[in-house]
Amino acid sequence: MTSSSSPSRKALSKIACNRLQKELTEWQLSPPAGFKHKVSDNLQRWVIEVTGAAGTLYAGETYQLQVDFPEHYPMEAPQVIFLNPAPMHPHIYSNGHICLDILYDSWSPAMTVSSVCISILSMLSSSPAKQRPADNDRYVRNCRNGRSPKETRWWFHDDTV
């Protein structure tokens, strides 16, 4: 799966380590509703289980998010993708890449893993239909060899979902 390789795998900076420790502690105290952090000793890669909210197309279904942190997190955005199988959604590609502005251009260091998770769940919940993006095949073909979604020039045009 493309997800196994992550962008330049440099060790976390001291600032990034401290911040992630704090985020993890905070998460363990009050995890966002619908999310479960799968325990591991790897601070740089989190795997999070997400359960579709009741009353939505994804109710009861569970998916796995993989979050990779760059050396200069949180000044740089984390890389967030769905592990196979990715939910059917107009903004989620079959290789797990997510078209969501806060993961790329609109990332701010004041955001956290927790706030990103809530945004993703909200995106899932507002989906009108379980379908792939129109350009899924072309995009996935171009992403072979484990290209990171952060290298994609995203075009955010749909504010409704």
Alpha helix stretches (DSSP H) within the chain:
14-29, 113-125, 136-142
Closest CB 136 distance from another protein, rounded Å = 29
**CB of residue 111 to another protein, shortest distance in Å:** 6
User: 3-state class of 88 per DSSP?
Assistant: coil
Measured from the CB atom, the residue of 129 and 159 that comes closer to another protein is 159
Q: Does 108 bind another protein (CB under 8 A)?
A: yes
Residue 46, classed as helix, strand or coil, is: strand
Site string for another protein, 33-62 (x = CB under 8 A): ------------------------------
Strand blocks (E) in 11-103: 35-38, 45-51, 62-68, 79-82
Residue 48 to residue 78: CA distance in whole angstroms: 14
b/e per residue 108-129 (b: at least 16 CB within 10 A): eeebbbbebbebbbebbbebee
Residue 62 pairs in a beta bridge with: 51
- Stretch of 22-30, 58-66, 83-91, 141-149 contacting another protein, by CB under 8 A: 22-30
DSSP bridge pairs for 60? none
Comparing CB distances to another protein, the nearer of 134 and 159 is: 159
Among 24, 47, 102, 161, binds another protein (CB under 8 A): 102
Cβ distance to another protein smaller for residue 51 or 119? 119
Q: Does the protein bind another protein through residue 18 (CB under 8 A)?
A: yes
**Cβ of residue 75: shortest distance to another protein, in angstroms?**
4
Neighbours of 28 (CB within 10 A): 10
Q: Mark whether 99 is an active-site residue.
A: yes
| Residues at the site binding another protein, with contacts judged by CB under 8 A | 15, 18-19, 22-23, 26, 72, 74-76, 102, 106, 108-111
- What residues are labeled active site? 99
